[in-house]
A and B are shown apart, each in its own frame.
Chain A
Amino acid sequence: MSHPTRRLDPVIHQPTRLGILTAAAETKRIDFVSLRDLLDVTDGNLSRHLTTLENAGYIEIEKAFEGRRPRTWIAATPAGRKALAAEIAALREIVGDADGRAPAAKRSPRAATG
Chain B
Amino acid sequence: MHAHVERHGIGSGGRPGGRHDDRTDDAGASRAGVPRQSPADGGHAPSAPPASDMSASDAASRLRYMDGVRARARRAVLVPAVVAVALGAVVAVHGALIALWPHAALLSIAWLACLVVARPGFVWQRRRLERRRGLLGRRRLRVACAVAGTVAAVGAVVASADPLVSAAAASVALAAYLGDVPTVAIAALVAGVAGELALVDGASRPTGELLVGAGLAGAGLVYLAAQRGAA
Contact = CB atoms under 8 A, between A and B. Distances in A.
Interface in A1-35: 5-6, 8, 10, 13-16, 18-19, 22-23, 26-34
Contacts of B103: none
A30 B217 CA distance: 28
B36 A18 contact: no
Most buried by B among A13, A30, A55: A30
Give the contact-size bracket for chain A: 35 or more
Interface residues of B, number: 61
Contacts, number: 178
Interface of B: 1-11, 14-15, 20-28, 30-31, 33-37, 44-48, 51-56, 59-60, 62-63, 65-66, 69-70, 72-74, 76-77, 131, 133-139
Interface of A: 5-6, 8, 10, 13-16, 18-19, 22-23, 26-34, 36-41, 43, 47, 50-51, 54-55, 60-72, 88, 91-92, 94-95, 97-99
15 contacts: A15-B48, A15-B62, A15-B65, A18-B45, A29-B136, A33-B27, A34-B31, A34-B34, A38-B69, A38-B72, A40-B37, A54-B10, A63-B5, A91-B63, A94-B55
